[in-house]
Amino acid sequence: MSKGRRGMYRPLNAYLAQLPADQAAVCLPLAEIEALLATPLSASARTNHSFWSSSSVALRNWRRSGFSGRLDQASGAVTFTRTPWP
């Protein structure tokens, strides 16, 4: 990741962190994610399911915060679900 892109997902992480602890999931349209980030998402983020679930970006960001992500290309949205601790 280039130096200018470091921290790009901080606003999304902050949004997820402020959700009530009893909220199990949230569905965010890609446009809303872009608004939170104040920058367009990459083509990979728009089309690659693993970007949101198991990529290095996911592991360094929302996965670390206890959320898994699932892209629904048909609706153009990502559902973030709290992942239980093992």
pTM confidence score: 0.89
Domain ranges of the chain: 3-18+25-82
pLDDT tens digits for range 33-70: 999 999 999 999 999 999 999 999 999 999 988 999 99
Look at residue 81 and give its three-state secondary structure: strand
Q: Which amino acid makes up residue 17? A: A
> Which structure tokens are listed for 39?
């920058």
- The 8 Å CB, 24+ separation contacts for 45-54 are 46/73, 47/73, 49/73, 52/78
Q: Which amino acid makes up residue 50? A: S
User: Which of these, 82, 85, 80, lies nearest to 12 by C-alpha position?
Assistant: 80
Question: What is the residue whose two structure tokens read 């949205």?
Answer: 77
Residue 75 has pLDDT above 70, yes or no: yes
